[in-house]
């Protein structure tokens, strides 16, 4: 009897004590969402999380297609920009689709802004609280801009994080109009500019400033004035299910707004074009990208140099060297001669260049030539050089590395050869530049990558030269005789070591269309490899000419006799691929995944 | 009084243990007694004394010879009365307070030394045939013998002997009081109950004929295949098991599912219970298994409630049986080799392919000749890396010893085994450490059953597993990858002057160095499993058929991995100087000494269970059974990386069952599980899981009797019920709470030198207060049939609908902006199919022939994965089986530029003649992601089957077993299939089959597309062109044995001796020839399954 009692007792004890409490989680004082807002350190972490969705613009291989899918370069690897270049992307295959990522950033910013005011952390001052909130606001508006530039008008989701437990149907949003989006970003950035400091403390460099917020408005206003977003016929019919037209009609006044917005940044007066102490224009121009936090930078992101540099280092250098990012022949052709004349006026149907004979440019033969960069080093030496590269303007030498030119690392002594079976060319490896050139703009010649030195970059997001170029472009459209055009254009040219524009092309003064062309050329060269070109060709709506058709380089398929010597057959223009650009490609498609889920979403033109 | 007396007997059991340790003393008794009785047994006298005196007696009833009747008439103190009463009983007494303890008078030294012989024979009471191999032993001693071929035995015993017992399987034990007898004849009566097959079911066992749930069990001998893990032996053995062995690496197990996969949630695996405790299947030594069953339908698994949805595997380990110690020794050794190894193209073929792919003369004819004739292996190597690294065979050894026996107090089963398996990895003997894989396992188990009283059993199961594995310093999967990737001409395994070779930093490794020059790893696992249980039978105390059990287990598992790895100094030959000496480039500096790294893992588990069972037959027709059970479990991981996984994992539940059968014709059963899971919100943790079943034994009906000579058994059964699955989040715990994510959140660097980075934080997983378990609605309809008492058939049709599958929302648009997609219970899936088995037995003269087969077919369908319709409905995952492969439909290879020009544009990359041509499914003129459709099957086979047979003739036995899978597809994916895919020439080994069957202008209808010198993004896509049929039929197992005749063993201490030879994975029949199809798709870069040849010796003492 006792035994059965015992069992009954045990069982009943378990029954009573059981049910829920046995299964309760052992208390472990885990960090909770509420606790985040009670400590300075966790609040700072949350703010940093808001910023964690920022794209790494210097990583042209894995983070963005802006270099690989623009006419300034070819990136060799098998990534999404191939689909873009060959016109085979589609809503079911959207390369570098950052839609969800940026909306996540927007949501996190909303969460931060909703909670920061109620923070109970005592060691956050009122001033910091206001500023941190503005930093989150800046990030949110910037994410909207990043969406806008790729997709066109998108949805503005407000300040409250969206309740995802709602019925799925209520999570369908219609697109806002372009004007609403642009106005919203402008308004938000204006509010940020009112709160953010002119300059952050050195330990916070890289956080947004008043200048960054104003620059954001300045670029947005410029884009808004350009043809794609200013009365574009292609997109005139794109409307929401309720009939709202999403794209604005033409308004010339937008150019004026753009000019004013850019002038506001210039008028801050705290930025200046970077010039090297030596005054050497190559060093000055290289310094823009390599001197961290130089005075020209308005906004930049601190990043390790590895991801950019490893893809721009030819294999011959050794170590980690995947050298696959090369300027196209079109980009090479775009650089002026040292005298300021642009050598290539255009192309014939067969792709051969129309050469401006007055420029002094030659495309055959070789000269003994000393690379201007070498003059910066101790060992001067002349090399037999293809005439195409002789006598060009300084920014050419800072940007383009051709086959047979010395690798800039001083103690390196390596000479890449991009021909077939050459030490850095096709044949045994897929790691080679298809165009036969390498981009060297962000290579710090004082660092040896083979020894593991990659350096750091403050890759420019906004810099003064861009603002100047924005400004003169806008001025030229609504006030072509404004003297500021020559003033600011020549500031850039002067830093770059090229003659003033009116000295080279006097006929362009007060000639709006010629000046437009020259401003665009200047922009292409000055801002090369800063991820502008992709958006410039699209907002100018010239991509059907620039990104459609054969892309040229040198003849990398010419076999070498010796892996370290470029063969003669290499020195001719050769088509390395044919790109396809259709009108629908001006804007990204919305992914089919998103369309399936958001029934109110209107697809972009042509997709 | 009656009950009181029973209580005494029970308590006496406890006290007889206590007496051993407590000091004895006698207390003078008070008062006078008068006892008078004619022809009374001792028990009656004791009852009388108890009644008169108020004293309580304690004794072991087996000590008391109650058969003698005496007359008693005495008066006096209690001591005086006892003296008279016990005069001739052979008992003495101790008085303590009001208790009297009786015990036998110790046997004198003198009497013990006198030996004598008892002999006789054991025969079948009905047939009078001698019984060979019956156990005869003196109870409570180790003195015993086994009958010979004539049924005779002989025991050497002491002069004073109690009971002698004879036992044989299938007969009732017979006990005879030896007294001074010198000859005892035993006539054993067949035991109908013992012969009746019993099946292990959830929390108990049931007569096989009353089982109406879907349960399969397997003859344990079938699982004793010479491999290290039992999970590798399951495939094809039971109806309903789907097992997949992807790797043959020593010590690795297999994935297995019951009736296929019914959920796309996190946990698809069945619950495995060893002796009722949740334990890993592979921790059990196959030799120790007494029964192995799988529970498949709702009624069989409902008692496991929230944990039973994926089916349950029940294993019970062996127990001791009455009798003298039986010692079984089994020793085996074998050789193992890979079933099939892929073959790579050699250097000359490789060079030829590259020249063709790159349309160049990169390799000149001179170089190709040097590869072919091998004159300069340093500069022009031709390495077959697979031969270089892997040997053709290795060996294994196993010794297993077990001893079992028992008496009325205790039964025991004690077993130990040692297993050792080498690997096909070669080792460099010049190193003073072994870098090859070597796996050792030592198992120990002791299962004890102590009868504390006639109705009380204390059960103690202790097991210990000690595993050790030595392996190379480099990760084995890297060794496989690089041995498959490294080009034959990349470099020699080692230069002829002894220098180690290796590629440039960052471009791979030399697999020879990885295997033999990278140091070693030593992994050690230690597992201890302990279980104590107490069962009380209340049949004679409360009511017949009532039992209670309490069970407690504590298990621990620990593993420790020590990695001592290094890299050697390596060189690359770049040419020869004018003297012909090799010029080297140092490619890796290497390390001088072995590094050290230690990783640990482990857990500890406690489990408590209390149950009450009832089983009784009323009026010979009404059989009633019931179960009520409570259990809980706590598991802790002892070495975790984060706080949350270190918190205890808990389960708790109640289970109940009621069964009723009428006249063994109609059966009804109800099962219920009520249990909870810590994963869910307080208040929402517990759920009820009911199931019911009906059965009809048609063959027991009167009207059926005329045809029972043809159909001797026919049973129809059906069940329906709900079972749950609470392990829905994989590693996700406490789903009702949100988590905060800190590591892995991308952050942003600020500051002049970029060193301001506070880290980042956000909500990781969203809280979901409404989350619950997956629910499985299971239906099963089955039939059991036996024909001519020879052929047994069993078949079940099953249907399962799984609801509430825990999954990430698929319907949320991106603009909601969630960094982590929330998890909810919204998924639905269906799984249905058929499983059946067949057994056959026939005796023809001296031949005994058996056959068996089983078949499982399961087809799943995703009903809801929270995805809206795809643009092209044919791309919906909803409506397709789980794991369905998707890819492009290939139309062949392009044979001309004209054909390319006239075909839809293929968007994956430029296309040339010899590339794969795809079908434009949606007809939009563009081949892209929208043309991807469901192709082939899933990589989990839909059909699993096995069949085999045995033949016995006199001492010879032969068995064969085949196993197969069907309706399974894989993709061939990998650089050795694609060719030059990485764009490097050192890691570009290509399967020889590609060399032989690639597209060229001369071979237009080729098996592989044209070779490209770089990644070909058009051809290297999943498509029907790259898909293979993974079906195979395998001659899985064969064994031939010879048992020596008893006559030869007469006069020795041996009872039986059997020698045997066996083989595993002897032949594989498949359309796929490149490697073992069971390894699946990819490129076959992994440890292949082993073919094993074994010889063994099995001896019983």
Q: Each residue of B797-855: pLDDT tens digit?
A: 999 999 999 888 889 999 999 988 998 889 999 999 999 999 998 888 888 899 999 99
For residue A105, the chain B residue with the least C-alpha distance is B817
CA terminus-to-terminus distance, chain B:
48
Q: What is the dihedral of CA B208, B210, B213, B218, to 10 degrees?
A: 0
Residue with the bigger pLDDT between A328 and B51: it is A328
CA of B677: how far to CAs of B51, B188, B447, B674, B685, in Å? 55, 52, 31, 11, 5
- How high is the pLDDT of residue B111? 45
Whether residue A238 contacts residue A246, with contact meaning beta carbons closer than 8 Å, is answered with yes
Q: Does A9 touch chain B (CB under 8 A)?
A: no
Q: Which of A20, A25, A421 sits opposite B734 (nearest CB)?
A: A25
Q: Does B762 touch chain A (CB under 8 A)?
A: yes
Whether residue B776 contacts residue B686, with contact meaning beta carbons closer than 8 Å, is answered with no
Asked whether the beta carbons of residue B748 and residue A92 sit closer than 8 angstroms, the reply is no
**Residue ranges of B 662-721 with Cβ closer than 8 A to chain A:** 676-678, 682-683, 685-686
- How high is the pLDDT of residue A2? 47
Count of residues for chain A? 607
Return the beta strands (E) in A265-327 as ranges.
297-304, 325-327
Residue environment code for B662-693, b if the CB has 16+ CB neighbours within 10 A, otherwise e: eebbebebbbbbbbbbbbbbeebbbbebbbbb
Pick from B353, B341, B342: nearest CA to B489: B353
Asked whether the beta carbons of residue A430 and residue B1014 sit closer than 8 angstroms, the reply is yes
- Give the integer Cα–Cα distance in Å for B882 and B261: 8
* pLDDT surpassing 80 at residue A16: no
- How many whole angstroms from its chain centre is CA A249? 28
Residue with the bigger pLDDT between B124 and B571: it is B571
Whether residue B912 contacts residue B1010, with contact meaning beta carbons closer than 8 Å, is answered with yes
* Residues of chain A found within 8 Å of residue B612, distances taken between Cβ atoms: 7
In SS3 terms, A200-224 reads as CCHHHECECCHHHHHHHHHHHHHHH
Q: What does the pLDDT average to over B313-338?
A: 89
CA of A482: how far to CAs of A266, A476, B642, in Å? 16, 7, 65
For residue B683, the chain A residue with the least C-alpha distance is A20
Asked whether the beta carbons of residue B870 and residue A596 sit closer than 8 angstroms, the reply is yes
* Residues of chain B found within 8 Å of residue A83, distances taken between Cβ atoms: 907
Return the beta strands (E) in B282-428 as ranges.
289-295, 312-317, 323-338, 394-406, 410-421
* Residues of chain B found within 8 Å of residue A15, distances taken between Cβ atoms: 630, 654
Q: Which of B746, B754, B982 sits opposite A456 (nearest CB)?
A: B754
SS3 label, residue B554: strand
Query: pLDDT tens across A480-533, in order?
Result: 999 999 999 999 999 999 999 999 999 999 999 999 999 999 999 999 999 999
- Give the integer Cα–Cα distance in Å for A397 and A389: 9
Return the beta strands (E) in B920-981 as ranges.
926-927, 933-938, 943-953, 956-966, 969-971
Asked whether the beta carbons of residue B871 and residue A595 sit closer than 8 angstroms, the reply is yes
Q: Which of A46, A173, A429 sits opposite B815 (nearest CB)?
A: A173
Phi, psi (deg, nearest 5) at residue A60? -80, -5
Asked whether the beta carbons of residue B548 and residue A93 sit closer than 8 angstroms, the reply is no
Q: Does B751 touch chain A (CB under 8 A)?
A: yes
* Residues of chain B found within 8 Å of residue A49, distances taken between Cβ atoms: 745, 747, 760-762
Q: Which of A28, A427, A592 sits opposite B871 (nearest CB)?
A: A592
* Residues of chain B found within 8 Å of residue A162, distances taken between Cβ atoms: 815-817
Query: pLDDT tens across B667-690, in order?
Result: 999 999 998 888 888 888 888 999
Q: Mark out the alpha helices in A497-556 (DSSP H runs).
A: 501-504, 512-526, 533-539, 543-546
Q: Which of B683, B814, B822 sits opposite A20 (nearest CB)?
A: B683
**Residue ranges of B 596-615 with Cβ closer than 8 A to chain A:** 610, 612
- Give the integer Cα–Cα distance in Å for B485 and B982: 10
* pLDDT surpassing 80 at residue A370: yes
Count of residues for chain B? 1101
- The DSSP line for A180-192 is HHHHHHHHHHHHH
- How many whole angstroms from its chain centre is CA B395? 23
Whether residue B82 contacts residue B125, with contact meaning beta carbons closer than 8 Å, is answered with no
Residue with the bigger pLDDT between B643 and B738: it is B738
In sequence order, the 6+-apart residues with CB closer than 8 A to the CB of B375 are none
For residue B907, the chain A residue with the least C-alpha distance is A88
Mutate to test the interface with B, among A25, A38, A160, A315 (most CBs of B within 10 A): A25
For residue A53, the chain B residue with the least C-alpha distance is B746
CA–CA min distance B302, chain A (Å): 19
CA terminus-to-terminus distance, chain A:
82
Asked whether the beta carbons of residue B644 and residue A421 sit closer than 8 angstroms, the reply is no
* pLDDT surpassing 80 at residue B110: no
Pick from A332, A392, A334: nearest CA to A361: A392
CA-derived radius of gyration, chain A: 28
Query: pLDDT tens across B918-968, in order?
Result: 999 999 998 988 999 999 999 889 999 999 999 998 889 999 999 999 999
Query: pLDDT tens across A578-595, in order?
Result: 999 999 999 999 999 999
Asked whether the beta carbons of residue B644 and residue A30 sit closer than 8 angstroms, the reply is yes
CA–CA min distance B625, chain A (Å): 19
Asked whether the beta carbons of residue B752 and residue A202 sit closer than 8 angstroms, the reply is yes
- How high is the pLDDT of residue B11? 38
Q: Does A391 touch chain B (CB under 8 A)?
A: no
The pTM score is 0.81
* Residues of chain B found within 8 Å of residue A89, distances taken between Cβ atoms: 907
Whether residue B836 contacts residue B794, with contact meaning beta carbons closer than 8 Å, is answered with yes
Pick from A184, A603, A100: nearest CA to B815: A100
Within 13 Å of residue B827, how many CA atoms lie on the same side as its CB?
Answer: 27
Q: Mark out the alpha helices in B150-276 (DSSP H runs).
A: 192-195
Asked whether the beta carbons of residue B814 and residue A103 sit closer than 8 angstroms, the reply is yes
Token pair, residue B302, equals: 């409902």
Inter-helix orientation angle A281-290/A484-496, to 10°? 100
* pLDDT surpassing 80 at residue B29: no
Asked whether the beta carbons of residue B871 and residue A91 sit closer than 8 angstroms, the reply is yes
Mutate to test the interface with B, among A1, A49, A588 (most CBs of B within 10 A): A49
SS3 label, residue B294: strand
Whether residue A496 contacts residue A506, with contact meaning beta carbons closer than 8 Å, is answered with no
Count Cβ–Cβ pairs < 8 Å, chain A vs chain B: 248
Confidence of residue B107 (pLDDT cuts 50, 70, 90): low
Q: What does the pLDDT average to over B597-615?
A: 94
Q: Does B742 touch chain A (CB under 8 A)?
A: yes
**Per mean pLDDT, which of A466-480, B981-995, B1036-1050 is the most reliable?**
A466-480
Pick from A374, A373, A403: nearest CA to A388: A403
Phi, psi (deg, nearest 5) at residue B779? -125, 140
Which helix (DSSP H) or strand (DSSP E) does residue B2 occupy? helix B2-21
- How many whole angstroms from its chain centre is CA A584? 21
In sequence order, the 6+-apart residues with CB closer than 8 A to the CB of A430 are A76, A77, A324, B982, B983, B984, B1014, B1015
In sequence order, the 6+-apart residues with CB closer than 8 A to the CB of B28 are none
- Give the integer Cα–Cα distance in Å for A35 and A251: 50
Asked whether the beta carbons of residue B811 and residue A168 sit closer than 8 angstroms, the reply is yes
- How many whole angstroms from its chain centre is CA B1094? 22
For residue B905, the chain A residue with the least C-alpha distance is A88
Residue environment code for B176-191, b if the CB has 16+ CB neighbours within 10 A, otherwise e: bebeeeeebebebeee
CA of A243: how far to CAs of A155, A236, A607, in Å? 16, 12, 19
Token pair, residue A187, equals: 């308004």
Distinct helix (H) and strand (E) counts, chain B: 16, 55
Q: Which of B505, B682, B752 sits opposite A205 (nearest CB)?
A: B752
Q: Does B394 touch chain A (CB under 8 A)?
A: no
Pick from B1029, B909, B907: nearest CA to B968: B1029
* Residues of chain A found within 8 Å of residue B869, distances taken between Cβ atoms: 596
SS3 label, residue A397: helix
Q: Does A118 touch chain B (CB under 8 A)?
A: no
Residue with the bigger pLDDT between B847 and B58: it is B847
Asked whether the beta carbons of residue A92 and residue B541 sit closer than 8 angstroms, the reply is no
Q: What does the pLDDT average to over A167-173?
A: 87
- How high is the pLDDT of residue B427? 84
- Give the integer Cα–Cα distance in Å for B774 and B935: 29
What value does the mean pLDDT of chain B take?
A: 86
Q: What does the pLDDT average to over A176-191?
A: 97
- How high is the pLDDT of residue B127? 74
- Give the integer Cα–Cα distance in Å for B904 and B893: 14
- Give the integer Cα–Cα distance in Å for B93 and B123: 41
Residue with the bigger pLDDT between B158 and B415: it is B415
**Residue ranges of B 351-370 with Cβ closer than 8 A to chain A:** 358, 360, 362
For residue B1013, the chain A residue with the least C-alpha distance is A427
**Residue ranges of A 580-599 with Cβ closer than 8 A to chain B:** 591-598
In sequence order, the β-bridge partners of residue B414 are: B403, B446
Q: Does A202 touch chain B (CB under 8 A)?
A: yes
In sequence order, the 6+-apart residues with CB closer than 8 A to the CB of A8 are none
Asked whether the beta carbons of residue B754 and residue A15 sit closer than 8 angstroms, the reply is no
Whether residue B791 contacts residue B838, with contact meaning beta carbons closer than 8 Å, is answered with yes
* Residues of chain A found within 8 Å of residue B758, distances taken between Cβ atoms: 41, 44-45, 48
Q: What does the pLDDT average to over B60-73?
A: 73
Q: What does the pLDDT average to over B567-588?
A: 87
Whether residue B993 contacts residue B972, with contact meaning beta carbons closer than 8 Å, is answered with no
SS3 label, residue B871: coil
């Amino acid at each position: 009897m006792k035994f059965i009692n015992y069992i009954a007792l045990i069982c009943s004890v378990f029954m009573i004590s059981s049910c829920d409490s046995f299964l309760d989680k052992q208390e472990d004082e885990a960090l909770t969402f509420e606790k985040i807002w009670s400590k300075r350190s966790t609040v700072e972490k949350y703010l940093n999380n808001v910023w964690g969705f920022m794209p790494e613009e210097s990583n042209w291989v894995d983070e963005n297609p802006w270099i690989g899918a623009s006419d300034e370069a070819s990136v060799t690897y098998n990534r999404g920009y191939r689909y873009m270049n060959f016109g085979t992307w589609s809503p079911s295959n959207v390369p570098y689709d950052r839609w969800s990522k940026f909306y996540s950033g927007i949501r996190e910013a909303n969460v931060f802004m909703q909670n920061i005011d109620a923070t109970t952390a005592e060691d956050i001052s009122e001033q910091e609280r206001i500023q941190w909130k503005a930093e989150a606001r800046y990030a949110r508006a910037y994410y909207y801009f990043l969406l806008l530039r790729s997709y066109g008008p998108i949805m503005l989701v407000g300040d409250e994080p969206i309740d995802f437990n709602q019925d799925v149907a209520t999570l369908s949003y219609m697109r806002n109009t372009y004007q609403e989006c642009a106005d919203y970003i402008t308004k938000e950035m204006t509010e940020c500019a009112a709160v953010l400091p002119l300059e952050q403390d050195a330990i916070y460099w890289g956080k947004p400033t008043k200048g960054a917020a104003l620059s954001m408005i300045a670029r947005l206003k410029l884009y808004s004035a350009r043809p794609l977003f200013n009365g574009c016929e292609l997109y005139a019919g794109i409307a929401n299910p309720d009939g709202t037209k999403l794209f604005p009609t033409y308004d010339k006044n937008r150019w004026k707004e753009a000019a004013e917005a850019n002038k506001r940044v210039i008028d801050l007066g705290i930025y200046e074009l970077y010039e090297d102490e030596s005054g050497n224009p190559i060093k000055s121009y290289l310094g823009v990208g390599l001197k961290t936090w130089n005075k020209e930078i308005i906004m930049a992101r601190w990043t390790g140099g590895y991801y950019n540099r490893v893809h721009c280092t030819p294999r011959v250098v050794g170590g980690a060297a995947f050298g696959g990012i090369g300027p196209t022949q079109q980009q090479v052709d775009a650089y002026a001669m040292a005298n300021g004349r642009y050598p290539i006026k255009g192309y014939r149907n067969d792709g051969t260049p129309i050469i401006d004979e007055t420029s002094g440019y030659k495309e055959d033969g070789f000269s003994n030539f000393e690379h201007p960069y070498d003059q910066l080093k101790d060992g001067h030496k002349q090399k037999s050089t293809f005439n195409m590269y002789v006598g060009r303007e300084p920014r050419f030498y800072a940007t383009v590395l051709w086959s047979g030119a010395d690798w800039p690392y001083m103690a390196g002594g390596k000479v890449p050869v991009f021909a077939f079976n050459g030490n850095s060319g096709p044949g045994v490896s897929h790691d080679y530049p298809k165009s036969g050139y390498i981009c060297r703009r962000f290579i710090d010649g004082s660092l040896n990558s083979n020894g593991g030195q990659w350096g750091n970059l403050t890759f420019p997001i906004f810099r003064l030269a861009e603002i100047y170029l924005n400004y003169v472009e806008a001025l030229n459209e609504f006030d072509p005789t404004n003297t500021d055009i020559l003033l600011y254009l020549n500031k850039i040219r002067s830093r770059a070591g090229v003659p003033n524009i009116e000295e080279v092309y006097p006929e362009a003064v007060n000639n709006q269309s010629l000046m437009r062309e020259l401003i665009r050329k200047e922009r292409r060269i000055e801002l090369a490899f800063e991820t502008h070109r992709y958006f410039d060709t699209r907002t100018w709506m010239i991509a059907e000419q620039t990104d459609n058709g054969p892309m040229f380089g040198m003849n990398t398929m010419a076999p070498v006799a010796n892996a370290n010597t470029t063969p003669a057959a290499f020195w001719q223009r050769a088509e390395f691929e044919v790109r396809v650009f259709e009108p629908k490609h001006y804007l990204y498609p919305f992914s089919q995944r998103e369309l399936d889920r958001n029934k109110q979403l209107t697809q972009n033109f042509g997709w | 009084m009656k009950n009181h007396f029973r209580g005494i007997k029970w308590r006496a059991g406890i006290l007889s243990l206590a007496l051993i340790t407590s000091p004895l003393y006698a207390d003078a008794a008070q008062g006078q007694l008068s006892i008078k009785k004619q022809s009374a047994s001792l028990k009656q006298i004791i009852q009388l004394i108890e009644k008169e005196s108020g004293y309580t007696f304690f004794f072991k009833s087996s000590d008391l010879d109650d058969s003698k009747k005496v007359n008693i008439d005495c008066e006096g103190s209690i001591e005086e009365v006892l003296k008279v009463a016990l005069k001739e009983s052979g008992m003495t007494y101790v008085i303590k307070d009001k208790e009297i303890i009786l015990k036998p008078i110790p046997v004198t030294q003198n009497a013990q030394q006198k030996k004598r012989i008892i002999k006789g024979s054991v025969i079948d009471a009905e047939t009078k045939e001698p019984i060979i191999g019956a156990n005869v032993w003196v109870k409570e001693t180790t003195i015993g013998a086994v009958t010979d071929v004539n049924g005779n035995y002989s025991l050497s015993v002491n002069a004073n002997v109690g009971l002698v017992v004879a036992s044989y399987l299938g007969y009732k034990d017979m006990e005879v009081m030896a007294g001074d007898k010198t000859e005892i004849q035993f006539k054993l009566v067949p035991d109908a109950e013992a012969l009746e097959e019993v099946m292990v079911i959830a929390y108990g066992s049931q007569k096989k004929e009353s089982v109406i749930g879907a349960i399969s069990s397997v003859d344990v001998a079938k699982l004793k295949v010479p491999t290290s893990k039992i999970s590798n032996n399951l495939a094809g053995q039971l109806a309903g098991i789907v097992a997949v062995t992807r790797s043959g690496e020593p010590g690795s197990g297999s994935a297995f599912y019951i009736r296929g996969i019914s959920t796309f949630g996190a946990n698809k695996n069945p619950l495995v219970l060893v002796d009722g405790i949740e334990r890993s299947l592979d921790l059990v030594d196959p030799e120790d298994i007494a029964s192995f069953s799988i529970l498949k339908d709702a009624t069989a698994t409902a008692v496991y409630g929230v944990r039973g949805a994926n089916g349950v595997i029940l294993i019970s380990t062996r127990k001791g049986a009455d009798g003298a110690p039986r010692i079984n020794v089994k020793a085996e050794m074998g050789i193992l080799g890979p079933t099939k190894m892929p073959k790579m193209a050699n250097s000359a073929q490789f060079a030829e392919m590259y020249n063709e792919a790159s349309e160049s003369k990169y390799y000149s004819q001179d170089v190709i000749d040097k590869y072919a004739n091998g004159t300069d292996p340093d500069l022009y190597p031709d390495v077959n890396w697979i031969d270089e690294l892997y040997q053709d065979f290795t060996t294994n050894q196993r010794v297993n010893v077990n001893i079992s026996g028992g008496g009325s107090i205790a039964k025991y089963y004690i077993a130990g085994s040692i297993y050792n398996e080498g690997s096909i990895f070669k080792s460099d003997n010049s190193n003073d450490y072994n870098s090859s894989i070597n796996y050792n396992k030592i198992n120990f188990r002791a299962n004890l059953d102590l009868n504390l009283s006639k109705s009380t059993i204390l059960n103690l199961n202790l097991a210990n597993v000690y595993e050790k594995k030595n392996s190379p310093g480099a990760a084995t999967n890297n060794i496989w990858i690089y041995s498959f990737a490294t080009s034959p001409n990349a470099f020699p395994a080692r230069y002829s002057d002894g220098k180690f070779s290796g590629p440039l930093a960052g471009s791979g490794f030399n697999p020879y160095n990885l295997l033999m020059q990278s140091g070693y790893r030593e992994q050690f696992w230690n597992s201890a499993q302990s279980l104590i249980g107490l069962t009380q039978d209340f049949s004679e105390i409360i009511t017949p058929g009532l039992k209670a059990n309490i069970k407690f287990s504590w298990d621990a598992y620990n593993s420790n991995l020590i990695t001592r790895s290094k890299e050697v100094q390596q060189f690359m030959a770049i040419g020869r100087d004018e003297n012909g000496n090799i010029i080297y480039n140092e490619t890796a500096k290497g390390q001088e000494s072995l590094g050290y790294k230690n990783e640990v893992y482990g857990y500890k588990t406690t489990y408590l269970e209390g149950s009450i069972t009832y089983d009784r037959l009323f009026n010979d027709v009404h059989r009633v059974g019931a179960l009520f059970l409570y259990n809980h479990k706590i598991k802790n991981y002892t070495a975790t990386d984060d706080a949350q996984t270190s918190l205890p994992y808990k389960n708790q539940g109640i289970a109940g069952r009621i069964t009723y059968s009428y006249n063994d014709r109609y059966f009804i059963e109800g099962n219920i599980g009520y249990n909870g899971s810590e994963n869910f919100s307080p208040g929402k943790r517990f759920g009820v899981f009911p199931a019911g079943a009906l059965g009809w034994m048609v063959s027991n009906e009167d009207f059926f009797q005329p045809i029972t000579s043809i159909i001797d058994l026919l049973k129809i059964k059906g069940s329906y019920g709900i079972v749950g699955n609470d392990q829905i989040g994989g590693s996700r715990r406490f789903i009702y709470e949100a988590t905060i994510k800190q590591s892995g959140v991308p952050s942003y660097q600020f500051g002049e030198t970029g060193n301001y980075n506070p880290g980042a934080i956000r909500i990781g997983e969203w809280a979901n207060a409404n989350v619950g378990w997956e629910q499985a609605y299971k239906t099963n309809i089955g039939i059991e049939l036996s024909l001519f008492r020879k052929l047994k058939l069993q078949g079940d049709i099953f249907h399962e609908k799984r609801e509430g599958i825990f999954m990430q929302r698929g319907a949320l648009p991106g603009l909601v902006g969630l960094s982590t997609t929330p998890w909810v219970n919204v998924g639905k899936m269906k799984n249905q199919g058929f499983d059946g088995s067949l057994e056959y037995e026939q005796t023809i003269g001296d031949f005994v022939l058996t056959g068996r087969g089983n078949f499982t077919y399961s087809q799943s369908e995703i009903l809801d994965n929270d995805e809206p319709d795809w643009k092209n409905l044919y791309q919906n995952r909803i409506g397709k089986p789980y794991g369905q492969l998707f890819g492009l439909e290939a139309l062949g290879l392009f044979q001309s530029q004209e054909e390319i020009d006239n075909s839809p544009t293929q968007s994956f990359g430029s296309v040339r003649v010899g590339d794969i041509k795809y079908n434009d499914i949606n007809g939009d003129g563009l081949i892209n992601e929208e043309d991807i459709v469901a192709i082939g099957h899933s990589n989990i086979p839909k059909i699993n089957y096995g069949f085999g047979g045995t033949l016995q003739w006199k001492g010879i036995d032969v068995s064969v077993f085949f196993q197969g899978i069907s309706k399974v597809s894989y993709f061939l994916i990998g650089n050795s299939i694609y060719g030059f895919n990485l764009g490097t020439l050192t890691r570009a080994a290509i399967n020889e089959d590609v060399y032989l069957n690639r597209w060229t202008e001369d071979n237009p209808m080729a098996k592989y597309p044209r070779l490209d010198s770089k990644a070909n993004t058009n051809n290297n896509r999943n498509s029907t062109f790259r898909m293979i049929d993974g079906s195979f039929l395998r001659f899985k197992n064969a064994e031939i044995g010879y048992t020596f005749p008893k006559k030869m063993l007469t006069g020795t201490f041996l009872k039986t001796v059997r020698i045997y030879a066996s083989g595993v994975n002897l032949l594989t029949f498949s359309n796929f020839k490149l490697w073992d199809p069971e390894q699946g798709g990819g490129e076959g870069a992994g440890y292949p399954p082993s073919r094993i040849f074994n010889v063994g010796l099995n001896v019983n003492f």
